[in-house]
């Protein structure tokens, strides 16, 4: 069991690293020089794996490994959405004193609403609605207090994902699923919220046909979150018992994916694709109304033609027999 968890952790880490690499290749944004200089005070230590410090009283220099969670990848940070933030915009300015005060670990970090609440600039994002949905989600009801925005959205590397249509759908899906898997496929992170082993995601989804293909083609939230009318990405994660298990809920003309994943309007309407499903293939939800109608029309016309032919044969045969 430990081996399996270790393997899952490694896989999740690999996925996360890959995503972080993809993000790191993004165009660097223009960071204020003042912000950079201010942040360098922290990052001179927190961007390194090994910390070097000198004790004034003992006059000795020490080397210590930095805790992994305290290391900031500056490239990723300065390409994230919050790239122009100073560390002390969110963290206490008391951190400027080293060694840091142990009480600082109890600091309350700001959530999304603390900055974005009632801000007309971000009205499109509906942060209040996100909070409302999150409050009703299983993450909030089961792990209230401990579970915050930052439990899913990495505070230092967060980037717009679903709204960024410069990236292809697979990237959006991989990014989103990596968020869920960072706990659900990672024993250590899962234990931050639950005192038991995390279930093996592959095993719990054994029933899902073409499992790998599903995992690459849809996000976890497609089945595990309530479809939201007003949000681009639903934040009301449902309890396991309410997860979608009926194939036809997605694989039908009235697919629930239309109100979730395909809300992203992945393709321009055209004759061969008037449903905004990008390059996805969703059996049960034909991509083109025109092709669909034409196909059905051809079959109906064929059947009608044959019935007409048969009727004509019967009529002309009767006439011939009568004539004879």
Partner 1 sequence: MTEKVYHYAIWIRLWHITNALLFLTLIVTGFSMQYTSPENPLIPFEVSTTLHKIAGIVVTFNYLFFLIGNYVSNNGRHYKIEFKGVITPILKQVRYYAMGIFKGEPHPFPVNRERKFNPLQKATYIFAMYFGFPVLSVSGLLLAFPSIFDILGISSLIVADVIHVLIGIVMTMFMLIHVYFCTIGHTPVSNFKSMVTGFHDVEE
Residues engaged in binding partner 1 (CB under 8 A): 209-210, 212-213, 246-249, 251-254, 272, 279, 281, 283-284, 286-287, 291, 295, 298-299, 302-303, 306, 309-310, 312-313, 316, 320
Nearest CB to partner 1, comparing residues 100 and 317: 317
Helices 169-184 and 2-24 cross at an angle (nearest 10°) of 140
**Least distance in angstroms from the C-beta of 243 to partner 1:** 15
The smaller minimum CB distance to partner 1, of residues 123 and 247, is found at 247
**SS3 annotation, 39-97:** HHHHHHHHCCCEEEEEECCCCEEEEEECCHHHCCCHHHHHCCCCCCCCHHHHCCHHHHC
CB nearer partner 1, residue 46 or residue 287:
287
- Smallest distance from the beta carbon of 273 to partner 1, in angstroms? 8
Closest CB 299 distance from partner 1, rounded Å: 6
Query: Which of 283, 306, 286, 307 is CA-nearest to residue 296?
Result: 286
In whole angstroms, how close is the CB of 305 to partner 1 at the nearest point? 9
How many of the other CB atoms lie within 10 Å of CB of 146? 11
Shortest distance in whole angstroms from residue 95 CB to partner 1: 46
Cβ at position 205, least distance to partner 1 in Å: 15
* Contacts (Cβ under 8 Å, ≥6 apart) of 227: 234, 256, 259, 260
User: Measuring CA to CA, which residue among 171, 159, 169, 194 is closest to residue 81?
Assistant: 159
The runs of H, that is alpha helices, within the chain are: 2-24, 33-46, 74-78, 87-90, 112-116, 127-136, 138-143, 149-152, 169-184, 187-190, 201-204, 211-217, 221-224, 289-323
Nearer to partner 1, 4 or 300 (CB): 300
Distance CA 261, CA 279 (A): 12
Give the nearest distance from C-beta 227 to partner 1 in angstroms: 13
Whole-number Å distance between alpha carbons of 96 and 79: 24
Shortest distance, position 196 Cβ to partner 1, whole Å: 31
Give whichever of 170 and 191 is closer to partner 1, judged by the CB atom.
Answer: 170
Spatial distance between the Cα atoms of 132 and 129, rounded to a whole number of angstroms: 5
Q: Which is nearer to partner 1, 160 or 247 (CB)?
A: 247
Is 161 in a helix, a strand, or coil? Answer: coil
Report the C-alpha gap between 163 and 192 in whole angstroms.
30
The two structure tokens encoding residue 2: 């430990």
Decide whether 136 or 168 has the Cβ nearer to partner 1.
168
Pick the closer one to partner 1 by CB: 33 or 210: 210
């Amino acid at each position: 069991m430990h081996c399996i968890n270790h393997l899952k952790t490694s896989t999740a880490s690999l996925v996360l690293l890959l995503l972080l690499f993809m993000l790191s290749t993004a165009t660097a944004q223009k960071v204020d020089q003042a912000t950079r200089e201010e942040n360098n005070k922290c990052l001179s230590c927190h961007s390194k794996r090994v910390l070097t410090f000198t004790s004034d009283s003992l006059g000795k220099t020490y080397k210590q490994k930095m805790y992994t969670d305290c290391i900031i990848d500056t490239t990723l940070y300065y390409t994230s959405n919050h790239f122009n933030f100073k560390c002390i915009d969110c963290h206490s300015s008391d951190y400027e004193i080293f060694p840091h005060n142990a009480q600082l670990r109890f600091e309350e970090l700001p959530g999304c609403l603390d900055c974005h609440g009632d801000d007309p600039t971000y009205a499109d994002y509906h942060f209040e609605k996100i909070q409302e949905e999150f409050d009703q989600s299983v993450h909030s009801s089961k792990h209230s207090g401990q579970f915050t925005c930052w439990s899913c959205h990495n505070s230092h590397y967060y980037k717009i994902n679903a709204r960024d249509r410069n990236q292809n759908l697979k990237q959006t899906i991989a990014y989103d699923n990596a968020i869920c898997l960072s706990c659900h496929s990672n024993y250590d992170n899962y234990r931050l919220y639950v005192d038991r082993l995390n279930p093996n995601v592959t095993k719990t989804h054994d029933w899902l046909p073409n499992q790998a293909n599903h995992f690459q083609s849809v996000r976890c939230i497609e089945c595990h979150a309530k479809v939201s009318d007003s949000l681009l990405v639903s934040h009301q994660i449902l309890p396991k018992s309410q997860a979608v298990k009926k194939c036809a809920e997605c694989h039908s003309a009235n697919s629930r994916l239309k109100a979730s994943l395909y809300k992203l309007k992945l393709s321009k309407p055209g004759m061969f694709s008037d449903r905004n499903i990008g390059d996805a293939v969703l059996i049960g939800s034909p991509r083109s109304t025109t092709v669909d109608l034409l196909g059905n029309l051809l079959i109906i016309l064929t059947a009608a033609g044959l019935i007409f032919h048969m009727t004509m044969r019967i009529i002309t045969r009767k006439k011939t027999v009568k004539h004879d």
